[in-house]
Structure 1
């Protein structure tokens, strides 16, 4: 349980929320953990199975406090919306900004700047920690190219130009990606990104982890009242969660890629955890998926210090923190959206 950005996060899966004299009461069994005045918070995000009392939900509705419920694994269930809830106004403003080339450019550039910064950080971290095991010269060259891309993205004049810089940066990053694989190079290697279907084990693992991350970003955006299907960087298409894909760009290198590399470099995931289909696609088998899912949930509980908020939070709350920051910017409560730039 923690409060952040005027939001109460309830992360214990057996916590129950109730109402007492206009206070939120957080309980586990018969023990009261906290009493928080409703007037001091804007939103409650709960990852508990036990949920909340009808009295609390009704009071939140009248006070205009948003409530969103998730499974302990992060799957979005529902939100409680009152008559004075600002989600409708928030989404209308989101749609207006998405239709504005100037506003779309500002957010698209922020998402891509976060991604490029984090791509460079992953390369620099590997070069620093494993100098004798990697091609340090190649990593240095690609890091320099990414640094140049970071400068260029902030001076782009259109969203299409931002997409061009992002595409070039992704190519520069993945050119060095094989050097980041430190173990079992015969089974795990990377030549280029392949999807639908992935054509090797590394791409199969990346695709699976990206799917998990997309789901977490969709849930985070739904929880704060934004429409995950209306984005600023990714083009809108039926069934595509464009805003979730926008948001996850800055998380791909430090959340998904590092996680996948750790699984391989520590031997947690091995060649036997994959299978090849008739169409040439390579996918995780059932045992491989179980290992990855268990490790993913464990990683989400590990603590970090958020680089912008300067507060300790679990990795699993990072998409929710960024979604809150994004919602604040869209509403006009802040001057800019700060992308997640890991340090």
Structure 2
């Protein structure tokens, strides 16, 4: 159980000896050895966490993350802090403050994301007709232009052109059945956008854990601009993984018929998953994150969650001059 999710409102997380306990009133629901938990995610204001449990988790370096009940956004994170590698954070600040130094990293982020989007279209788009083929051609052109573009703002524009082609294909396939007209959020206008946003939040939680474990400042990124409260570095790292983890998982869920329109409700905040669908999606996400895949950096099969950490370690070595250039993770079956 690498991640402990607490989303049942009216429950409470406590501790007893070296174990985490989950209670509903005086009833013991679960009893988990802390050694089996890598992070805890609390979803909703109706889940309480005891002071003793907060201190217990912080002392053991286990992040405690608070999100909305829908899981749509992270509200707070309790952790041991930024870590003791101040030299890495200085290197991070230098690249964030110098666009010339940041360009190769931004190029890699865009290439990795678009390459993985192409991989997804090649895997799932055989039945999507000419729309998918035209999108791939556009996205391949984006990759070619990205490799020679020295301006960060224009690189963001190229990423946007690739995204428009990619999500345009999704819209052509899913607009009639699911109302998907393109990527949108806050509020989520349809069930597919709700699924994507929820999945991206789960993935971002994992990357926040990885960057803080290595002493990065998660709020200083290069592709995503620095804004108050925005975990820009974690979002930068997330880009290459969105297609091969979350987008792929959403398509697998749809192909298997695991979710229907009845699994969603429409609110003033947009479409939301119901509790049962949310639990099912979390289970599918955890299964994906624990599944070994071939990782180019080691040549070995590694669990996907470990690949996130390995890529974050790779970035740390690049920023500290130990490796020449960041190589994004590119999905290969």
TM-score (norm 2): 0.75
Q: Deviations over 1:222-246 (max 9, x none)?
A: 1111111000111101100000111
* Corresponding position of 1:134: 128
* Corresponding position of 1:163: 156
* Corresponding position of 2:282: 293
* Corresponding position of 1:231: 221
Q: Distance in 1 between matches of 2:171 and 2:140?
A: 20
* Corresponding position of 1:94: 92
* Corresponding position of 1:254: 244
Q: Distance in 2 between matches of 1:327 and 1:290?
A: 34
Contact kept, 8 Å, 1:180 with 1:261, in 2: the verdict is no
Equivalent residues in 2 for 1:108-127 (5 A)? 108-127=106-125
Q: Distance in 2 between matches of 1:330 and 1:80?
A: 17
Contact kept, 8 Å, 1:112 with 1:166, in 2: the verdict is yes
Contact kept, 8 Å, 1:68 with 1:77, in 2: the verdict is no
Q: Cα–Cα, structure 1 residues 72 and 255, in superposed 2: closer, same or farther, change >3 Å?
A: farther
Equivalent residues in 2 for 1:39-188 (5 A)? 49-50=34-35, 69-70=61-62, 77-78=79-80, 85=84, 87-127=85-125, 131=126, 133-135=127-129, 137-178=130-171, 187-188=177-178
Q: Deviations over 1:180-235 (max 9, x none)?
A: 65xxx754242111110010011111111111111111111111111110001111
| Deviation for aligned residue 1:138 | 1.5
Contact kept, 8 Å, 1:305 with 1:312, in 2: the verdict is yes
Equivalent residues in 2 for 1:12-27 (5 A)? none
Mapped pair 1:336 → 2:325: yes
Q: CA RMSD in A?
A: 2.5
Contact kept, 8 Å, 1:322 with 1:340, in 2: the verdict is yes
Gaps of 5+ in 1: 1-10, 14-47, 52-66
* Corresponding position of 2:12: none
Gaps of 5+ in 2: 4-32, 37-58, 66-76
Q: Deviations over 1:122-180 (max 9, x none)?
A: 111123xxx3x322x22111101100000011111211011010011100111111466
* Corresponding position of 1:55: none
Q: Distance in 1 between matches of 2:64 and 2:156?
A: 35
| Deviation for aligned residue 1:70 | 3.9
Residue-pair matches, total: 270
